[in-house]
Structure 1
Amino acid sequence: MGKLRLSLASAIAVTAITLSAGAQAQTYGPNDEGRRFNDGSRVVCHKVEVANNARDQNRIAGTATGAVVGGLLGNQVGKGNGRKLATVGGAVAGGLVGRNVQGRNQERNGQRAVETRCERVYR
């Protein structure tokens, strides 16, 4: 029983060390562009246009508004349990529609920023 505990503890320790070493991803910046490594890989950078919408990135306002409107419309349909089901369905559908509408508006009206992103390319 003692050997089993020791080997189990050793396996857990090795796994923890391996996971912590793998979790430390290397990041590269523009100064690293063109850097080559012994394994044949190199650092490549490119400019990317990204949306910079600081307000309501999770689109909570659109989702909530759409869910309320959809729930109210769904409540107007059916009777009894059918009305309950229609209310829930309307709320879900309205939330999805509201989220998409807000997302499109943010894409169209959002501020744009150009960032340089660098990554290690293996070839």
Structure 2
Amino acid sequence: MNTRKMLRLLAAAPLLLGAGVAGAQQTYGPEDEGRRFSDGSRVVCEEVEVAQNTKDPNRIAGTATGAVIGGLLGNQVGGGKGKKLATVGGAVAGGAIGRNIQGNNQERRGQRQVETRCERVWR
């Protein structure tokens, strides 16, 4: 390896090593609550209620079902290019409505658990 290549490699090494360190995120637990840092930030913890055991957390079933129904209903409207536009619009609207309905049902039926979550805040 010639000198020029070696110098380039040595110059890039801190950047490569720093990228790995910058990507790591510090996690904090309840034992860190109230901890203060020199930059004025501190660790704050709060108890949040989270849903447990949802089979479809991304609401894919509700979105897909709503999109199919909306597309079928939209297909019944208009003719030509208007019919295509109505089909697509119905599918989009139906997907959004289906996702919302499934989310509301999951909220109503879901099991809840309280967790303590801590984060560093700059206030």
TM-score (norm 2): 0.80
The answer as to whether partners of 1:48 and 1:116 remain within 8 angstroms in 2 is: yes
Number of matched residues? 121
TM-score (norm 1): 0.80
1:94 is aligned to: 94
* RMSD of equivalent CA atoms: 2.3
Equivalent residue letter for 2:33: E
Q: Which sections of structure 1, spanning at least 5 residues, go unmatched?
A: none
Does residue 73 (structure 1) correspond to residue 67 (structure 2)? The answer is no
Q: Which sections of structure 2, spanning at least 5 residues, go unmatched?
A: none
1:112 is aligned to: 112
Deviation at 1:91, TM superposition (A): 0.8
SS where residue 28 of structure 1 aligns? coil
1:53-106 deviations in Å (ceiling 9; x for gaps) = 421001011101101110110110111222122111111111111111111221
Distance 1:13 1:99 in 2: 47
User: What is the percent sequence identity of the aligned residues?
Assistant: 67
Does residue 85 (structure 1) correspond to residue 85 (structure 2)? The answer is yes
